[in-house]
Every structure is written in structure tokens, then in C-alpha cells.
Structure 1
Amino acid sequence: VGGIAGTLSLMILAPPLAEVALSFSTFEYFWLAFLGLMCATLVARSSPVKAIAAMFIGLLVACVGIENPGGVPRFTFGLTDLFGGIEPIPALVGVFAVAQVMRAMLTPEPPPIPKRKFGSILAGQWKLTRKYNVQMTRGNIVGIIIGVLPGAGADMAAWVSYAMSKRFSKEPEKFGTGHVEGLVEAGASNNASIASGWVPSLLFGIPGDTIAAIAIGVLYMKGLNPGPTLFTEKASSMYAIYLMFIIANLLMIPLGIIMIRLASHVLRAPRSSIMPVIMLCCAVGSFAIGNNMFGVVTVATFGIIGYVMEENGYPVAAMVLGIVMGTMVEQAFVTSLIKSDGSILPFFERPISAILAALAIGAVIWPVVLWLWLRLKRKSPAATPAG
């Protein structure tokens, strides 16, 4: 349902947005990327301050290398391996996969799952759909919105929706124990954002995730250059993409059931057997990206960083978004300043730019307003009944 909702949003939103995108300049691109960064901090599971701090760590990592408007080495410390910057994928593998392995090493192994017969996966799904229809609808909406944001991706949509589900749930204490409510909302959001994530990919050539980045490369090979004109010059190809998404979402049901059956056997394997395989996959994958050992070192380093951050309540997702979006934000900002001869006014003078700026600044101010409101609420004396 989430996937089809995302596909419908792509069909409805993309053509009008293509007309708007024709008037986009670096000023709008800057605010769009900046808004994408700040949205990740609004619904973070930890405090907004920690989320913003994590995002700044990601932006600092994005500054490494010579791929910047000035073309000068920054934070390379004389290491030639750092001239090309920190690749987002090794960093992502480190903070999510390696950090999880480290956490598993430092926590006792859970008791083995008893052998039992698995029932029908589809049994009771309609009952769950009716029970959690609000969560599913909210997940669809959040997934579509986050998918449209450049660089956010399906994983970010799922985490944001899971955090929202926990925040608005009547049973938040059940989260983390296999409670279905958060999984319904996160799953709907994840699937909805995959299709809507093609909006920035097709309009601006900005991938929402790794898969979209690969797909953009395929489109270039086929002569379908992403951009606003794609919807006017190659309209027939766009309808083929829409149809492909609908078919893919329908095929996901039988294929997903098969994969669930197979994946259930992994849960029975001892942790001591699974974790080394995960580490091996991380090492081989990171080495294959650049064919050197620096990728492996990067994965290990970010594994430690991710573990330390999560143990102290700093969301690693915000840091990853900072790494992915940092270069785009900086280049759009510097290019805009060059065009405006150092003036800040053009950032707010254009209508679309002014709207995006208002949304982005609101996202910055919101955590401060929320913090002040909670602080005043705690300090206000409790009302006492008149004697």
C-alpha cells in the first residue's frame, strides 16, 4: 500500500514540480538541501540538540578532501587517500553494520529461538491494516514528504516514521519488544518514500538513496538525462517508469514472503557465526568500492564513531545525512554568493527561494521553541484548588 501510494504521489507531484524546477537556481537548491538536513533533526528520537550536533559532525566529514568550491585540500593531514573525501557508503556501512556488530560483542547473547512451525504470513494482515490504518496513512504521508527531499532516502523515512509512531503511540513502552505498531508505520513510510524519492532523482538528478544513484546512471546510459525537460521530451518513458513501480510493488508480495521464510533461518544461527560473516561482508564491500585498504579503515573508524554516538544518544542517521548532503549544500551556497557578489538578499528575494528559506529557518527555530516551551512548562507552579 505504501509503495503504490508513493507511486501515485510520483505521478501527481512530478509533472507540476517539473514546471517549478525549470525556474530553480542555486539559491533554491541551497535552501532545498538545507531543509532536507534540518528535517532529519525535527523528529529525531533523541533531543533535537543532539540531532543537530550529529548533523554538524556529518557536515564536518563532508568538508574533507579537495572536492570543494576552492579546490584546496581540507582536513587531509597530508594523506593522499583523503584527497577524494570520505565516501558516504563506507561511512554508512560503518555506522550501521560495524557498530551493530560491536554492540552485539558487548551484550550477552539472547536465548535461542525455540523451534516452532511458522504459520501463514498473510494471516491476520487485514485485521492489522484496519487496526493501524491511522499509522499506515501517516507513514504514507511522511514517506512521500521525506522521499521528495533530496538525499533523504527510504531508510531515513523509516526511522523518522518509527520515531513518530513511538511518540504518538498509546503504548510506547511496548516499542522495541516486537510490537507491530511501529513496524506498520515504518514499513509504509519506507515503501512510499522509494517511489516519491524518484521526484528529486528525475527532476534534479539528486539521488534519494544508493539505488536511485545507480538508476540515474542507467538513465544516462539510455539517453534519459534527468531534468525538468524529461517530462516533456520523454513523456512515454516516464509512464513506463510509473507502470514499472506498480508492477514491482505487486511482485514484492510473493517475493517478500519467500525472503521472510528464508530469513527466518538466520535468526536460529548463533551470533558467533553471524557476526564474523557480517564483518567479512563489510570489509570486502568497502575494499571493492575503491580497491584499496583505505575503505576498510574508513568502515572500521566510522563503526567506532557510530557505536560511541548511539551509546550517548546521538542519532547516526543525522550524521549520515550531513555527509551525503554536505557537498551539495556548500557548493550551492558558495556558487550563490559568487553570483550575488557576496550579498545575502538574493537568497530571500526570489519567491520559491523565500518559501523554502522560511521552511528551513522554521525547522532551525522549532527545536529552540520546543525546548523553551518545555522548560517554562516545568517551571510553572502547579495549580492549587482554592481553599
Structure 2
Amino acid sequence: MDTFINGLNLVLTVDTLLVILAASLFGIFVGAVPGLTATMAVALLVPVTFYMDPTPAIAAIVATSAMAIFAGDIPGTYLNIPGTPASAAYVGESHMLARQGRAREALGINLVCSVFGGIFGTVVLIVVAQFLAEVALKFSAFEYFWLAILGLSCSIFISSGSKIKASLSLLFGLLLSTVGLDMMSGAPRFTFGVPDLMAGVNFIPVMIGMFALSELMKYYGSHSENKKVNMTSSDNVFSQVPVHVKKYWPNMLRGSSIGTLIGALPGAGADIAAWISYAVSKGKSKDKSQYGKGHIEGIVDASSANNSGISGAWVPALVFGIPGDSITAIVIGVLYMKGMNPGPTIFMDGSGLIYALFIVFILANLMMLPIGYMAIRLSKIFILTPSRVLMPIILCFCIVGAFAINNSMTDVWIMLIIGLISHLLISNDFPVAPAILGLVLGTTVENNFMSAMMRTGGDLTSFFARPISATLGIMVIFIWCSPLIMAIYKGYTQRSNV
């Protein structure tokens, strides 16, 4: 109890509360700008944290990351351009609702689900941190291989339209993931003599090109100004939230649970949590046909998952010093710099720093409600600003965002080329979301497969030799066979009716 009180005293100071407020506003701004990510926002804060005490420094990172993930939904809703990768899973649903004049309704339920998911993940982090971290540590190359394959399979099954086109889009993303040095031989692949490609194709420029630049090309190719969404004066942010919460509260719990579990797996993060939660939502829904047309249910699941995934990612980071995502990878460095060595001993420290961190998580998520509400009210700038003015500004941010990752013009060229290819794909009804997931998970699939093969001497049955690996493998095979099973079942039902 004394340790908890010490933690409370560390947080409830004027300096720490002001830092949380300032970091929240900064996170809202960065997340709402297409091309700038939550990871970039946290990275920009690191030099500032040098001059802070440990508690305000960690508080700034927590508040910024939580706000940025939510704020990414604002441009996604109004412009169909996700501000952060974690918003990409359900950007289509949000934008379709905006085109129906329900932009603030979509953002309102998104905000509430984000707060709920963040607090849910924090409670889990407090209660069962050690247990979840131990489960995540049991994952070897075999389990990570199946988890990545599961994510790739979900990207096809959640796509609307032709599954063949979704598969081809996924293969394009997997092709991009092969660029760089070969894991086994160290030989460069598809680098064409460009040194910057030795490390592979960076995810951020590809995401900017696929979502933001392709949308700009679509706008300039249409020669029209009807890109704005509709919004009536009676469109209130929270008016429909009680109705949706009452109807979809099981989805909020399910999405938050999935997000926390996926976030606790090292390297998974909020992006994959959102995709998997959206896939589960569509698979379990009674209104599958409404997905892709502006369905609240998918937003509830995925937006609860990505914010709870942020909290979940802190589990391996705090307990074992293993980063759960790119944000906690930065955080671990800050923790060491501030004298907080991640590991089991961090919970035995009597200074109260770990409890201060938990309290900061709760405060940051609660502050998301008023600050997020103000951001939604001010977000009408996206519709009041003429598209001919807004689009060039977004293009500038896209170029800056692509360049700022590695200070490399190669990333800018990648963004431009991928943007052109994505525009051609979208024009021919190819979904680009599977390509993004293929790029993200392609390296994970290859590295873990090769690692497992080296460990077992090429024995493929070893992928089913461990309980968790076998369970994931059976799930993947079931998903692959589900269309055939459904076709056989429908044929049997029709014959029985005759």
C-alpha cells in the first residue's frame, strides 16, 4: 500500500499533469496528420525526456502514444487516409459512415471504444502482467510462424470483393517483404544496387503511398470537388454512443481482450491486433454483408483492440525487457536511461515507479475523452477546407513523413512508386490492405520458418509438435478449408431440402 501511495504522489504533481496534457495534445496533432505515426511521435519526444524526471518522461510517452492511435482515425474517417497504421484495418468502415453523414457518430463510438480498450488493457497489465509475459515467452519460431500465417490468412478473408484479387494483393506485399539481405546467405535480393534497400522496404513509406498518395491521385484524377463528406448540424459526437455500447458491448470486451493478448506478444503490436480483431468481428457477425459499407460493429472491435494492444505491449517490455512493439522498443531505452531496469525486479522496487506508470496509463486514457472530443469537434476543418487547398498540404506532410523515417530520399521514391502502383490496383478493384499486411508479416514468416527448419533439420512435422503451435496450425488450416467446408455443407443442405 505504501508503494502505491508513493506512486500516486509521483503522478499527482503539477509538473507531471502538465506533461500529460501537453503530450496528449502533441499526440492528437501527430496522429491526425496523415503520414506521421505514433512511433514517430514517441521518437521525437526522446530528446525532450532527457531533461525530465522518470515519471513525467514515461508519462509523456504513454499519453502521446495513446492519443496518436485514436487521432489516426480522424483523417481516416474524413479523407479515407489513416493517420496511423493501427487505423488502417477499419478505415473503410469509418469513411463510408462519413459519406453517409455520420462522421461524428463514427468518431464518437471510436473514441469511447479507444478509452475502454486502453483502460481494459491497463487493468490486465496490472493484474496479470507476469502471467501474460510468461505465455508470450513460450512462443518460439514455430508459434510465431503460425501466428503470422494466421494474420495473412485473415487479410484475405476480411477483404470484400474477389478473394483472388485479395490473394494477388497479398502476394505483392510478400514480394516487397523479400527486398533486402537474405537471412540465410546474406546476399542482397531485389536491391538493384541501391544501398538503402539492403535493410528492406520500410513499412511507413509504403503505408503512406498506398493509403495517402493513392487517395490524392484518385482525387486529382476525378477532376471533381465532391470529395467532402456530409455532416448535418444535428450530428452530435456522443448522441448514438449509448445505443451502440448497449448493442455491441460484447464486441468491446472481445476486441479489448484480443488486443491485449496480441499486444503482449513481442513484435505484434496494435496494428496486427486491429486486423485480427476486425477479422474475428466479421467472422462472428450476423451482418457480414454490411462490412465494407460502413458498419459500426467492425469499428467497435478493432478500435477497442488497437488501444488495448498498446497497453498489452508493455507486458513483455516491463516484465522481461522484451519490446512488444516499436513504441515499447523506444521506451525500454528511456527506462534504462532513467534507472528503471525492465525485468522482474522492477515490481520489487519500493520507489513506487511501477505504480506511477499504471496510474499514468489510467489518467492518459481518461484524458482522451475530453481532448478527443475537442479534436472531433475541430476536425470539421477537413470538410470546411476546400480539397484543392487540403490535398497539397497533405502531400507535403506525406513527403515529410516518408523522408523523416531514415532521412533518406529513397523512402520518398518508394512512397511515390508504391502510390502509383496502389492507384492502379485500387482503380481495378484490388484491395491494398492485404498488401500492407503481407509486407509487415512477410519477414516474420520467412525468418521464423527458416529458423525452425534449421533447428529441426527440415522436419515439417515439428510445426505440430508443440501444443500452442499445433493449435495455431489447426486454426490456420481450418480457415483455409472453411470455404470448401461451407460449399460442401450448402450442397448437402440443398440436396436434403430437395
Query: Does the aligned pair in 1 maintain the 2:271–2:306 contact within 8 Å?
Result: yes
Residue among 291, 315, 319 paired with 2:435: 319
Cα separation, partners in 2 of 1:312 and 1:152, compared to 1, 3 Å: farther
Q: 1:241 aligns with which of 353, 357, 361?
A: 357
Q: Aligned match of 2:144 in 29, 32, 40?
A: 32
Q: Is 1:205 aligned with 2:322?
A: yes
Q: CA deviation at 1:290?
A: 2.5
Q: Note if contact 1:94-1:302 (Cα within 8 Å) is conserved in structure 2.
A: yes
Could you tell me how far 1:234 is from its partner in structure 2? Answer: 6.0
Equivalences for residues 364-383 of structure 1 within 5 A: 364-380=476-492, 382-383=494-495
Matched, 1:65 2:177: no
Shift of 1:61: 2.1
Q: 2:266 aligned with 1:154, yes or no?
A: no
Q: Distance in 2 between matches of 1:154 and 1:342?
A: 33
2:470 pairs, out of 337, 358, 363, with 358
Partner of 2:330: 214
Distance 1:379 1:206 in 2: 48
CA separation in 2, counterparts of 1:13 and 1:40?
A: 29
Residue 59 of structure 2 corresponds to none
Deviations 1:323-347 (A, max 9, x none): 3344444444444444445555665
User: Partners in 2 of 1:371 and 1:252 — Cα distance?
Assistant: 41
Match among 134, 137, 156 for residue 250 of structure 2: 134
Query: Residue 260 of structure 1 aligns to a residue in which SS?
Result: helix
Residue 288 (structure 1) shift: 2.1
Alpha-carbon distance between aligned partners in 2 of 1:223 and 1:313, rounded to the nearest angstrom: 52
Deviations 1:177-207 (A, max 9, x none): 6554443333322322221233355547344
Look up the SS of the partner of 2:494 in the other structure: coil
Unmatched tracts of structure 1, length 5 or more: none
| TM-score, normalising length: structure 2 | 0.64
* Aligned-pair identity (%): 37
TM-score (norm 1): 0.80
| Deviation (angstroms), 1:64 | 1.5
Superposed displacement of residue 20, structure 1? 4.5
Amino acid at match of 2:198: F
SS at 2:181 equivalent:
coil
Q: Which amino acid aligns with 2:486?
A: L
Question: Quick one: which of 374, 380, 384 aligns to 1:264?
Answer: 380
Counterparts of 1:294-313 in structure 2, within 5 Å, are 294-311=410-427
Go from structure 1 to structure 2 and tell me whether the alpha carbon gap of 1:310 and 1:241 turns closer, same or farther (over 3 Å shift).
farther
Change (3 A) 1:258 1:58: same
Of residues 72, 76, 79, the one that matches 2:194 is 79
Counterpart AA for 1:298: I
Match of 1:292 in 2: 408
Deviates more, 1:211-220 or 1:65-74: 211-220
Contact 1:51 / 1:314 at 8 angstroms: preserved in 2?
A: yes
Instruction: Show the counterpart of 2:220.
Output: 105
| Unaligned runs of at least 5 residues, structure 2 | 1-115
Q: Cα distance, 1:216 vs. partner? A: 3.9
SS in structure 2 of the partner of residue 122 of structure 1: coil
Q: Equivalents in 1 of 2:199, 2:317: separation in Å?
A: 24
Please tell me whether the aligned partners of residues 32 and 150 of structure 1 are also in contact (alpha carbons under 8 angstroms): no
Q: Of 34, 41, 44, which aligns to 2:158?
A: 44
The amino acid of 2:299's aligned partner reads L
Looking at structure 1, the residues matched to 381 and 488 of structure 2 have their Cα atoms a distance apart, in angstroms, of: 52
Measure, in 2, the Cα distance between the counterparts of 1:270 and 1:122.
27
Q: How many residues align?
A: 377
The correspondence for 2:207, drawn from 86, 92, 105, is: 92
- Secondary structure of the structure 2 residue equivalent to 1:85: coil
In structure 2, C-alpha distance between the alignment counterparts of 1:326 and 1:201, rounded to whole Å: 24
Of structures 1 and 2, the one scoring higher in RCO (CA 8 A, sep 6+) is: 1
Q: What is the Cα-based RMSD across aligned positions, in Å? A: 3.6
Q: Match of 1:45, SS? A: coil
Shift of 1:85: 1.7
